[in-house]
Amino acid sequence: NAGVMQNPRHLVRRRGQEARLRCSPMKGHSHVYWYRQLPEEGLKFMVYLQKENIIDESGMPKERFSAEFPKEGPSILRIQQVVRGDSAAYFCASSPSGRTQIYGYTFGSGTRLTVV
């Protein structure tokens, strides 16, 4: 019973390139959350998705960042034209349901993005 799977674990991109981060939720989980952790800081919420729907993207930067969770396949966080300030750890979490489920928030191991 695999947990939340994120890949790659480490990603290096040059400034201006695109970064694609993938997250496969736990089996049976249909809610996915993306968080960003800047160095020496706590995690900050970015976006909350269900299959084929973005529920809340209030934490996403307005430009260059996008997220999707298609009917089939993993959730993707895409960062276009990366800049040095995008260097961070990006965590994905999943849960079996939304509002009625307070408990049961499982994080993946994160993707560490380094922009050079």
Partner 1 sequence: AQKITQTQPGMFVQEKEAVTLDCTYDTSDPSYGLFWYKQPSSGEMIFLIYQGSYDQQNATEGRYSLNFQKARKSANLVISASQLGDSAMYFCAMREADQTGANNLFFGTGTRLTVIP
Residues from 86 through 115 that contact partner 1 (CB under 8 A): 89, 91, 93, 95, 98-103, 105-110, 112
User: Which position among 5, 30, 45, 76 is part of the footprint of partner 1 (CB under 8 A)?
Assistant: 45
CA distance 107 to 92: 6
Of the pair 80, 111, the CB lying nearest partner 1 is at 111
CA distance 102 to 40: 27
Tokens for 20, please give them. Answer: 């694609």
Is residue 52 within the footprint of partner 1 (CB under 8 A)? no
- Cα pseudo-dihedral 93, 65, 62, 41, rounded to 10: 50
Question: What does the binding site for partner 1 look like in residue numbers (CB under 8 A)?
Answer: 33, 35, 41-45, 48, 55-56, 58-59, 89, 91, 93, 95, 98-103, 105-110, 112
